[in-house]
A and B are shown apart, each in its own frame.
Chain A
Amino acid sequence: MQRLFARYPALRAWLLLLPAATWLFIFFIAPLFIVLVYSFLERGTYGGVVWQFSLENFRRTFDSLYFSTFLRSFYIAAVTTFICLLLGFPLAYYISTRPPQRRSTLILALMIPFWTNFLIRTYAWLTLLRTNTGLINVSLMSLGIIDKPLPLFGNDFAIILGLVYGWLPDMVLPIYATLERLDTSLLEAASDLYASSSKVFRRVIWPLSLPGVVAGSMLVFIPSLGAFVTPAILGGGKSLMIGNIISNQFLAAHDWPFGSALSFVMMAVMLLATLIYFRSTTSEERMQP
């Protein structure tokens, strides 16, 4: 076995990958071909498909309405990711600098809010954010801090807040996982050498945590791009994101082929962006000797 591995180093990789590859090829890639095939067909009037080859669906994805929605979603997802990083990094750092026992508790405590129900959580935000009767506006107004309700609800602010809230742990977890092994003595050593804290951050903490930052950004950006419930509830449904358009094709317009085509185009764009992003951020070192 050892010899075999030595002779064919890729063998070990494929053995490790075998379960994941098998599972994903059978239960993901194979079904994905259904979507691919559907995207080249014509719609059944009320859902399903007619077996008639057509490129119309892909032509429609480049419609300016859908394109501008995509750009808007991209913008919202990017802002969400950035804010998550801004909030999530110090939080991950805070957790990673606690004593080991406290850390596990804190990490669990990070996730537990999300073991409640999504819809209920979102409604709880609604209770806080509503314009005229929301707790925040009501308390600020009764304290006399403001005299007109702040526009906290039914706009991009509320959508981004909801998305940030929903995906913050996805940013914190990978960053924490990389920061956790950060040697505190390393930091002390660095600051003993009179390195300013910003220098310590730039030279020591940030490079070490980079893989986590990259993973976290992905785990936040992608689902935010496809979000559709949060914009509907917290955004007041007054604007669309690409996730709404796609899910509407399946659930309202009965247009499965177009929904499939939109999904495919979005996936292709995202996949390309992701692969490029990963390549550019993680391909250094590796040449060890």
Chain B
Amino acid sequence: MSSESITQQVPSMSRRSRWARVKKSMGEFSLSLYGWGGYFFLYLPIVILVIFSFNDSRSTAQWSGFTFDWYGEMIHDSQIILSLWNSLFVAVISTIISVVIGTLAAMAMERHVFRGKLLMDAVLYLPIIIPDIAMAIMLLIFFDISGIGFEPWKVSLFGIRLAVPYSVIISHVAFNISFVAIVVRARLAQMDRTLEEAAQDLYADTWQTFWKVTLPMMMPGIMGGALLAFTLSLDDFVITFFTSGAGFNTLPVRVFSMIKKGVTPKINAVSSLMLVFSLALIGISLLLRKGGDEEPTIGIGL
């Protein structure tokens, strides 16, 4: 009886595992399909946007013919180029600051129990909840009455003259801290705390534990938060408009102010150029990584 049951079981087992393999590869296939679909959705309007940067008319919505004119106009429009640099400058600086501050805050909020935590929770969510326009107006008034002002600092660094729009950077950091903190916190929440204990158990002091274990483990969260902050900062219009000093423009401020006269494909050209740049950066980093030795990649290595 027992031998019978064995002979019966063998084919059924293998059939089952073959079916499981089929199911698994089907699952993998549909997952891939889903992934590609997701990226198709994200890039669909971007493709349209790039196509219209070659449009032979002022319209960004009606195709008239092919031209490179807008790229020429863009290169000669020193104001647009300057505002693009300003955007990148503000986004990079405010991302760096908010990533550091936001990550520390996330660690405090996720890892510690202390009095006043609820208050800090509220303080951290508020910048996300507040309507843009209310935040913009309140910061504008605040910079005025506090005497902090708007006039960008003129700094000369290695012979390059920089105008540091501190009022804009301060404001961007004020909303970005929260976004970084939330993403990093989500990552920390599911991180195994015994990993840090293990490090401490293996003679790593608090600092070493942080640098060798906690930070690498938080990295996907930090990178996610940084990307989010950078993107929000790069695309912010309302708060930047109201908190910038006279003579300082970012690209979104320029573009939004074009609304009344019509946004031209010049902006598509600027956007396409940025797209090409970022895609090129990815390509280069991929090539470099392939060339380099097999360093452990932690989450997102930029």
Residue positions of A touching B, CB distance < 8 A: 2, 9-10, 12-14, 16-17, 19-21, 23-25, 27-32, 34-35, 87, 90-91, 93-95, 97, 100-101, 103-121, 123-128, 130, 133, 135, 165, 168-170, 173-174, 176-178, 180-181, 191, 197, 208-212, 214-216, 218-219, 222-223, 226, 243, 246-247, 250-251, 256, 259-260, 263, 266-267, 270-271, 274-275, 278, 282, 288
Over the window 142-183 of chain B, the binary record of Cβ atoms lying under 8 Å from chain A Cβ atoms (1 yes, 0 no) is 100110000000000000000000000011011001010111
When chains A and B are docked, how far (Å) is the Cα of A284 from the Cα of B16? 38
Question: A116 to B271, Cβ gap below 8 A?
Answer: yes
Bound CA span A185–B238, Å: 47
Chain A residues, Cβ within 8 Å of B113: 9-10, 13
Whether the pair A20, B105 counts as a contact (CB closer than 8 A) is yes
Q: Are B255 and A120 in contact (CB under 8 A)?
A: yes
Contact between chains at A128 and B122 (CB < 8 Å):
no
Enumerate chain B interface residues (CB-CB to A < 8 A): 20, 23-24, 27, 31-32, 34-35, 38-39, 41-46, 48-49, 52, 60-62, 100-102, 104-105, 107-109, 111-115, 117-118, 120-135, 137-139, 141-142, 145-146, 170-171, 173-174, 177, 179, 181-187, 189-191, 193, 206, 217, 220-221, 223-225, 227-228, 230-231, 234-235, 237-238, 251-252, 255-256, 259, 263, 267-268, 270-272, 274-275, 278-279, 282, 286, 289, 297, 299-302
Contacts of B190 in A (CB 8 A): 178, 181, 208-212
Instruction: Tell me, in angstroms, the Cα distance from A13 to B286 when the chains sit together.
Output: 39
B124:A219 contact, CB within 8 angstroms: no
Contact B35 A103 (CB under 8 A): no
Q: Does A127 lie within 8 Å of B48, measured CB to CB?
A: yes
* Shortest distance from the beta carbon of B259 to any chain A beta carbon, whole Å: 7
Contact of B108 with A165 in the complex, beta carbons under 8 Å: no
What's the nearest-Cβ distance from chain B to residue A202, in Å? 15
Nearest to A196 among chain B residues (CB) is: B23
Query: 10 smallest A-B Cβ distances: which pairs?
Result: A13-B112, A94-B35, A10-B114, A116-B271, A20-B105, A124-B45, A16-B108, A31-B142, A211-B189, A263-B134
Q: A173-B224, A176-B220 are in contact. Are A108 and B300 (CB under 8 A)?
A: yes
A-B contact pairs, 21 of them (CB 8 A): A13-B111, A20-B108, A20-B177, A28-B123, A34-B141, A35-B137, A90-B35, A91-B38, A104-B300, A107-B224, A111-B231, A123-B61, A124-B52, A127-B52, A128-B44, A174-B183, A178-B186, A197-B27, A208-B190, A246-B133, A271-B125
Partner of B46, one of A101, A104, A116, A260: A116
Output the nearest chain B residue to A216 by Cβ-Cβ distance.
B186
B137→A215 contact, CB < 8 A: no
The reply to whether B34 and A9 form a contact with Cβ atoms under 8 Å apart is no
| Interchain CA distance A232-B171 in the complex, whole Å | 26
* Bound-complex Cα distance A110 to B237 (A): 21
Q: How far is the CA of A124 from the CA of B271 in the complex (A)?
A: 12
Q: Is the CB of B114 within 8 A of A14?
A: yes
The listed residue (B20, B112, B138) touching A31 by CB distance below 8 A is B138
Residues in B neighbouring A178, C-beta threshold 8 A: 186-187, 189-190
Using A23-B177, A109-B39, A116-B49 as known contacts, say yes or no to A173 and B228 having CB atoms under 8 A apart.
yes
Q: Which of B134, B225, B235, B272 contacts A114 (CB 8 A)?
A: B235
With known contacts A20-B101, A25-B123, A180-B220, A267–B130 Cβ distance under 8 A: yes
**Contacts known (A118-B237, A173-B227); A13 close to B48, Cβ less than 8 A:** no
